[in-house]
Amino acid sequence: MKICCIGAGHVGGPTMAMIALKCPDVRVTVVDINKERIAGWNSNQLPVYEPGLSEVVKQCRGRNLFFSTDVDEAIQASDMIFVSVNTPTKTYGIGAGRAADLRYWEQCARRIAAVSNGNKIVVEKSTLPVRTAESLRAVLKANGRGCRFEILSNPEFLAEGTAIQDLENPDRVLIGNDDTNSGRAASKKLVEIYARWVPHEKILTSNIWSSELSKLVANAFLAQRVSSINSISALCEATGADVDEVAAAIGRDSRVGPKFLKASVGFGGSCFQKDISNLIYLCEHYGLHEVAEYWSQVIKINDWQKSRFTRRMVETMFNTVAGKRIAILGFAFKKDTNDTRESPAIYVCRDLLNEQAQLSIYDPRVTEVAIRHDLEAATALPGASFQKRITVEKDAYAAVESAHAVAILTEWDEFRNLDYNRIRQVMLKPGFIFDGRNILSPEASPMLCPGVYGIGKPNASART
């Protein structure tokens, strides 16, 4: 069996590496039009940072895992083609800001149709709007030169930062297929691949539309939990309750469960906002305005949480941060990834720059180029002037030197273990610490108490 994956990103790369690891007899080729990305996958500096990923890639690369820019050859050589290209939110035209931009997907479908020289199974791996399979079928059929294409939906549920463990031991694998003999046969082939390491009872099959919709709904439910606890964090700050205590108490109810109740500066990542926007667009398309409005609130609370964080910083720092040096610890949207898509840090930094602050930014995995690029894209400020107000530092201690305040925006483990006594000494007085991830515990480090502002935590001054 030969498979290929079009799109060597955060989903395609790790997923194919895991399939290659678990199925040594299957030849897996990952292709991408981005030459630098492919060169990265063929080097020791992988373009995606994920704990455990480089070990898996090293084990399989050159054996049954290959990375290439030759898309056509890979399509022709494969029985099964996964498509895992980016499907960002549209920034133009109809549905701008909500609908998914399917141009990369359609380009792939047209390429598959144009170069295929035999029957293929095409697997949707990217998150797609519901009923995309139907459009794909139309594109493939109209251009397919007599080849037969079976379309499967196999949404990816891995979370970045834990991709390898999620792939190795998934809660479930979902495969959607057409309710036809050939659809069921194609699904069986994909089930057989996963069954090499995933127990059968965890492999769910469904119709294609259910599978496509499940991905959007899973992310909407997860994001909703984060927005729910974040909304309560504001009430905790107002009343003196502690959001972690509230989360622990409600999470003990087995109907609620303990996961995804960590209040934060806001959720980020390439999926949550995009998938909810997509869901909202879909509801509106079907005239379900109340349902669309319901899910819109999840995004609204998230936007509010991010701006609330900056407002609290400014208010606490005597209503001005103009000219003040503020250390930003963490830029990735969560720990253990170098991905910054929709990272709350981008919006907090943008708002602080609008308030005329100077920023010294440190993230253990995000490059200076990526940070400057993200801020350039997010601010309406002319590049040259605001870029001068940013420095990107090589470690946390350099970032906090002479800072008026520190904002912790990603929960990297190394930030838990910093020497906060030393940090206090090199900061200007009074030094404020805004803990956007609630990683600092006043109980563990009492010297932190005054001047530490956590999310949904009793006000620091109330504790002094």
By the criterion CB under 6 A, which residues form the site for ligand UDX? Answer: 156-160, 219, 222, 226, 260-262, 264, 267-269, 271-272, 333-334
| Window of 33-41, 171-179, 306-314, 380-388 that interacts with ligand ADP by CB under 6 A | 33-41
273 binds ligand ADP (CB under 6 A): no
Please give the Cα distance from 19 to 26 (Å, whole number): 8
Helix (H) or strand (E) holding 85: none
- How many other β-carbons are positioned within 10 Å of the β-carbon of residue 13? 27
Identify any residues that bridge with 453 across adjacent strands, giving them in sequence order. 434
Nearest residue by C-beta to ligand ADP? 9
Q: Coil, strand or helix: which one is 273? A: helix
114 binds ligand ADP (CB under 6 A): no
Tell me the CA distances in angstroms from 412 to 47, 80, 333, one per residue in order.
19, 38, 10
Specify whether 108 is catalytic. no
Burial class (CB in 10 A: 0-12, 13-18, 19+), 199: exposed
| Window of 6-14, 186-194, 253-261, 383-391 that interacts with ligand ADP by CB under 6 A | 6-14
Of 72 and 245, the one with the shorter C-beta distance to ligand UDX is: 245
Q: Residue 32 binds which entry of ligand UDX, ligand ADP, none, with Cβ cut-offs from 5 to 8 Å by kind?
A: ligand ADP
List the one residue from 3, 8, 216, 292 that touches ligand ADP (CB under 6 A).
8
- How many other β-carbons are positioned within 10 Å of the β-carbon of residue 36? 9
Residue from 5, 23, 108, 271 carrying the catalytic annotation: 271
Looking at residue 3, its amino acid is I
What is the smallest separation between the CB atom of 261 and ligand UDX, expressed in angstroms? 6
Looking at residue 290, its amino acid is E
Q: How many Cα atoms sit within 13 Å of 53 on the Cβ side?
A: 27
- Give exposure, 424-447, as e/b (b: 16+ Cβ within 10 Å): beebeeebbbbbbbbbbebeeeee
Q: Residue 34 binds which entry of ligand UDX, ligand ADP, none, with Cβ cut-offs from 5 to 8 Å by kind?
A: ligand ADP
| Window of 28-36, 53-61, 131-139, 385-393 that interacts with ligand ADP by CB under 6 A | 28-36
445 contact partners, CB below 8 Å, separation of at least 6: 420
Q: Residue 267 binds which entry of ligand ADP, ligand UDX, none, with Cβ cut-offs from 5 to 8 Å by kind?
A: ligand UDX
List the one residue from 17, 80, 102, 108 that touches ligand ADP (CB under 6 A).
108
Work out whether strand 358-362 and strand 27-31 pair parallel, antiparallel, or are unpaired: unpaired
What is the smallest separation between the CB atom of 222 and ligand ADP, expressed in angstroms? 16
| Window of 80-88, 174-182, 210-218, 223-231 that interacts with ligand ADP by CB under 6 A | 80-88
What is the smallest separation between the CB atom of 56 and ligand UDX, expressed in angstroms? 18
What is the smallest separation between the CB atom of 113 and ligand ADP, expressed in angstroms? 13
Work out whether strand 325-329 and strand 173-177 pair parallel, antiparallel, or are unpaired: unpaired
Q: Which residues are catalytic?
A: 271
Interface ranges with ligand ADP (CB under 6 A):
6-12, 32-34, 37, 71, 84-86, 104, 107-108, 126, 270
